Amino acid sequence: MLSQNYTTLYHNLCGLFSRHLHQKYSMIFPISSPFFGSNDKKIPTQTLQLQLHSVALKKMVPMALAATMMFSAVGCGSSEAAAPAATTAEATEVVEEVSYKGAVTLYTSQPEADAQALIAAFNELYPDVTVNVFRSGTEEVVSKILAEKQVNSVQADIVLVSDDATFETLKAEDLLMSYASPELDGIDPTYYDVDNTYTGTKIVSTGIMVNTDVINLDEVEITCLADLTKPELANEVIMPSPLYSGAAAYNLGVLLRTDGFGWDYFNALKDNGITVGQGNGTVQTAVLSGEKGAGIIIEYMAIREQLKGAPVEFIYPTEGSLSVTEPIAIVNGTQNEELAKLFVDFILSDFGQEVTAEIGYTPIRQGVAAPEGFKTADELENLTYDTATLVETREADKEEFAKIFG
């Protein structure tokens, strides 16, 4: 078997070749290139990048193995006797050592299509790892985990849902494993837990989606959340329910404790005929169809439709943006710890964050560009509040909201 030094060298060379080839082919074949066909085919950008990465992987292994064996034969210029060159059998053994097989279960509130796109990217790197998914709103995901914990039968290995406050609740129940991913180097420490039990994966901001066929923005000015209480917008606004959406529950907690809002704001919305849907998807559907003229919604659901040519516009509120980071965590006591760590590392890596951006989210990792139409982390003015307080008051806030809106 190769020594630990050669195995480390192999891993380092793999990473080097992978990054080099990914950049090289991305530059040679831009998305509009005839190499991939015309734009009329509407091939998803992330699919093209995954194809490029696959090319890199196919080239990477033989190059890395050859380089490893060369260094082992030459001894890297050392005055000591050169170690015996690695044999083909030994090289094959190294490849087998870094292969992964098995299955993990992900509980998430991400839209199904986005979760599957992320998993497809992961499987480009690890084709023998199956990722099973349970998908629902954050509040239902949390309820399921807590119920499973009561009977000592938690099925999730990994959890990826809306906000820090949710994860603090799970952390208090001793449901999260501490794991400091090696990919944390490129992420601002404010975006992950000090005890490394959860880490943000992206930045998702809430704002206002307007159907411009229903509401003429030249006649009705909408620049901030307070504008949604205007008489001109009576019965035209929809919002997600904090009883279903974790992001909406987080937003409720923050706005209740922000000057100029509080319960007076929510009562004003009710008096103006606001509709409370379920998740953000119900807001998107209502505004896109023209059933409602405007909605409070997470930005990617509006901007993606805007970029497709739908008659909608997304407005970042002037009061500031309500942002969550959709953290990811490994469940304490998982039987698939190694594979769970692999999935977390992938999402936080440069490649995982590039995929995140291509799917249509603001990446959380430094140096990875935001998609078209999205503000970067530096451009966002974030409305937030003390996480501990939000955790402590979350259920009471939801109960009061239910009393007001029925």
Residue extents of the structural domains in the chain: 4-97, 102-201+326-374, 203-323+391-405
Q: Check: CB of residue 129 under 8 Å from CB of residue 101.
A: yes
Q: Which residue has the higher pLDDT, 63 or 333?
A: 333
Residue 91: closest CA among 70, 122, 110: 70
Does the reported pTM lie above 0.85? no
| Residue 406 pLDDT level (bands cut at 50, 70, 90) | confident
Q: Which residue has the higher pLDDT, 89 or 395?
A: 395
According to DSSP, the β-strands at 158-160 and 362-363 are unpaired
Question: How many whole angstroms separate alpha carbon 167 and alpha carbon 180?
Answer: 16
Question: How many whole angstroms separate alpha carbon 262 and alpha carbon 140?
Answer: 26
| Residue 328 pLDDT level (bands cut at 50, 70, 90) | very high
Q: Is residue 319 classed as helix, strand or coil in its secondary structure?
A: coil
Please tell me the class of the 203-323+391-405 domain.
alpha beta
Residue 376: closest CA among 192, 202, 252: 202
Average pLDDT, the chain: 83
Q: Tokens 């100029």 sit at which residue? A: 260
Going along 139-188, which residue ranges are E strands? 158-160, 176-177
Q: Tell me how crowded residue 149 is: count the other CB atoms within 10 A of its CB.
A: 17
Q: What is the pLDDT of residue 98?
A: 62
Least confident of 21-30, 75-84, 286-295, 348-357: 21-30
- Model confidence pLDDT, tens digit, residues 341-390: 999 999 999 999 999 999 999 999 988 999 999 998 778 888 999 999 99
Q: Tokens 């087998």 sit at which residue? A: 96
CATH topology of domain 102-201+326-374: D-Maltodextrin-Binding Protein; domain 2 (3.40.190)
- Model confidence pLDDT, tens digit, residues 142-171: 999 999 999 999 999 999 999 999 999 999
Question: Comparing 102-201+326-374 with 203-323+391-405, is the CATH topology the same?
Answer: yes
Q: Check: CB of residue 332 under 8 Å from CB of residue 198.
A: no
What mean pLDDT comes out for the span 108-127?
97
Question: How many whole angstroms separate alpha carbon 119 and alpha carbon 126?
Answer: 10
